[in-house]
Structure formats: C-alpha cells, structure tokens
Chains A and B, each alone.
Chain A
Amino acid sequence: MIRVENMCVRAGAFRLSQLNFELPEGSYAVLMGRTGCGKTTLLEALCGLRQVESGRIWLDGEDVTDWDPAWRGIGYVPQDRALFQTMTVEANLAFGLTLRKVPAAEIKERVHSLSQWLGIEHLLHRRPQGLSGGESQRVALGRALAIQPRILCLDEPLSALDEETRSEMYELLKTVRARTKVTTLHVTHHPEDAQQLADRVFRLENGAIVEVES
C-alpha cells in the first residue's frame, strides 16, 4: 500500500506541490502525464532518491518519508534500466540478495527460478552490453523483483521497445502481478500501457495528481 499526503518535492526550478494519492495493496496503478511533468521526480521521491520538502509518504502503514532508499523495500526500474555494466546478468539479479547476506545457495536458487520465469535463463552469464531492449528490461525487472519488494516502481518500462516486444512485456508484467501480487506504480505516457495493465489510472497535470476513470 502506498499513501502520499500533501507531498511537495522540488527538482531544480521545477516543483510538485501538495500531491495526494493512495494505492491499495496489490493494485497496479499507471501514472500518466506529458514528458517533463514530474513523473520521474515523483518516483524518485517515493524511492527516497529525492528529498521531499514537506508531506509524508507511507508504505504498508509505515511512515518512510525520512528513510534511506535502502530500507524502503522498493523495487525500482528506471527508464534507462541502469544495469550494472561490470557484472554479469546473474550478478545483477543477485545484487540485492548479496547485500542482504542471503546464503549463497539460496541466492543461486532464487536467481535461477526468477530467471526461468522471466525467460532470461540463457543470459545469466552474459554482461549487459549487447542485450536487446526487451532482454535488458527483463533483467532490470528481475533485479528489482529479486529482493521481493513491497512496492514496484516502473519508470517508462516499455518505452523504446518494438511492438512485438511490448506485447511480450505486457504478458510478462501481467504474470509478475499474478505471481507476486506486488503493489505497482507504473509511469508512462503511453495510453495502451494503462489499457493493458492498470486497475487504477492517474494523471499528473499542472503539478497535481488526479485519478482517471479506468
């Protein structure tokens, strides 16, 4: 569950103020808005990567406004995927688990099972350079899911993908939702993403969030 109360956040000269919204546990929300309207800034604030000026952020009933990103339990997939270039796909997937000091055998098993249902098992020993857009997106999604996050934040996850790969990713995201029941906030400017995936649709316009009838 995500609850945002009167949140104000600034990014340079740009400012979002008095944002309020709530997502029930297990829901899949799509946040739409024009390029540059502050969608990424909002995600960064939720993840703890950008300090909020005022207001509160609640995740699963806990006030995490002042928490470090490491403790929020958010799986974040940025628009450019930001895969760790010096690591193999396997190490990318295992990264969060290694930090949590999960035993090596368990990491291996979890990475293996995750890679199997994401369809990236054959890529485990490759490095991110040279992966296709769809493959990179699956790896980035797997890296975020490996830590079993309570919230999944996806920033334009399907942009720059061709139509066929986009359709595959829709199916994959539906599977992720069905299997993990993770509360998801998916940011996009593509209306089809909302039609395909969302059970709640929000628009960010003129610095305010409004819910759209889906």
Chain B
Amino acid sequence: MTSSTAHSGSSRRLRTRSDTPFVIGLALIGGVYVVLIVAMLVADLSYTSPGHLMNALRSENIQYAIRLSLLSCSITALLCIWVGVPLGYLLSRYQFRGKGLLEALLDIPIVLPPLVIGLSLLILFQTAPGRWVERYLPVTYAVPSVILAQFAVACAFAVQTMRVAFDQISPRGEQVARTLGCTRHQAFWRVTLPEARRGVLTAGTLAWARSLGEFGPILVFSGATRMKTEVLSTSVFLELSVGALEAAVAVSLLMIGAAVAVLVVVRWFGSGTSFHQGQPL
C-alpha cells in the first residue's frame, strides 16, 4: 500500500513535471553568445560619443566611404542573386557528372581566408586575360575591384542559400505545372521562383551584409585609397592605422547601424510578422 502510494506519487510528478529547467538550460547556454554581442555593442557605444559620430559623418572621406559601401554592397547583392538563383536551382534540381566537384569548388570562397581571395584576384588580373580586361575596364585598385572582391566571397553564400531554398520546395508543383501546359522555363518563373521569394530575399540580405563586412580581399585587390576605393571597413582600418580609435569606433557604429537597418527593413518587407515573431525569412 505504502509502495503503491509512493509509486503513484512519483508518477504524478512525472506526469506534471515542467519543461522549464530544460528551456532555462537552453537559454543559459545560448544566452552566452547573445550577451557577448550585446557587450561588444555596449562597449563600442561607451567608447564613443554623439560628437565623435557627427565628426565622422561630417568627414568627406567617411561620406565617400558610406556612399561607396552602400552602392557596392547593393550592386554586389543584386549580382549575387542574379548568379545564385540559377546556380542554386541547378544544384538543387539536377544530377550531373562532376556535381560533387562543383559543390566543392563553390565552397572554396567560404573556407578560404579572405586575404587569399584578394591575392588570387590580384594575380588573376595580372594574367593575359585579366590584362586584356583591364585595357578596356580598369579593375584593380579601382571601384570595380571593390564590387568584384565583395562578389567573389558573398556569392558563395547566396548560392548555398538559394540551393537550400529550392531544396525545400517540392519539385512536384513544377511537374504539375508542366502537365498543365508550362515549359520548364515557365514552370520555374511562374511556380518555383515565386515560392522561393523568401530565399531570394535572404540570399540578397546575406550577400549585402557579407559585402559590407568584407575587408581582406578589398584591402589587397582594391587598396585603401581615400576618396577612391575606401569603403567603411577600410575606413575603420585607416582610422586605426593613424591612431584615431574614436573615429574608428564611430565608423564601426555606422556600419552596425547600417547592417541592422537593412536586416530590419528586409525582414519587415519579407514578412510583415516575421520580425516580431522571430520566424526565419
């Protein structure tokens, strides 16, 4: 009787036990990373003042870097979508000889140190085909090199994002569309691409944000010439190199602000509710 009572007591506890300790455990472990991000932002904010920020914004060099960063990142994001969508679709839907090799190749920009990518681009434009291009369109140490350096890295992320987006869409819809009268081309444009629109938005955002933070390849391939190839990441480097830590922090905060603004705006447009509910794009 006593044993039965004890048993029923423990099973009642089992039946009604809470998930709270598990959730708290997850939050504590994951929270370490969140705290690190917040701490870095707070540290940056505490190291600067509105005056430093205004000084940075008034500087012609910084204004040029902001303009070039916004322009180059936006062009790069569009180019990444332009290339990422077809490549992601091919990798997702087709089996072909050498696919494994192609996938490995596309991972190279993700795993290579960014400096190596910059060096490789620099060497590429010293070869005969590269010099031929340079004769008609100056690339190295000019604005196109900034876009190319950003594109070389960011596009790999866009391709991976688009591939996952297409993987998550069943090919069955396209097949039905084809039986209803579509060519493959029409089925892609009318059925699959509209369903992948959030993936496209995510790929573009990721490419934009990745381009904004790109530094190594730009430094090597484009140089860090003020009023010419200076983007915000190189501004931070240039300010640091002359010991202007406050200015470097002010520019960093501008970059953080720009990145957060773009992420918020894109998430907002991507799904009216996703930002509040924390759903993925």
Contacts and interface: CB of A to CB of B under 8 A. Distances in A.
Contacts, number: 62
Interface residues of B, number: 18
Contacts of A95: 177, 180, 190
A82 B183 contact: no
Interface stretch (B37-45, B152-160, B167-175, B250-258): B167-175
B226 interface: no
B188 to A, nearest CB: 13
B175 A69 contact: yes
B180 A96 contact: yes
B194 interface: yes
A99 B179 CA distance: 11
A122 interface: no
Interface stretch (A30-38, A71-79, A105-113, A178-186): A71-79
B179 A75 contact: yes
Interface residues of A, number: 25
Interface in B175-210: 175-183, 186, 190-191, 194-195, 197
5 A-B pairs with the lowest CB-CB distances in the bound complex, closest first: A96-B180, A99-B181, A82-B172, A86-B194, A69-B178
Interface of A: 44, 47-49, 68-70, 72, 74-76, 78, 80, 82-86, 95-96, 99-100, 143-144, 147
8 contacts: A68-B178, A68-B183, A70-B178, A78-B175, A83-B173, A84-B177, A86-B197, A95-B177
Given A82-B170, A84-B177, 9 more contacts: A49-B178, A70-B181, A80-B170, A82-B175, A84-B191, A84-B195, A86-B197, A95-B177, A95-B190
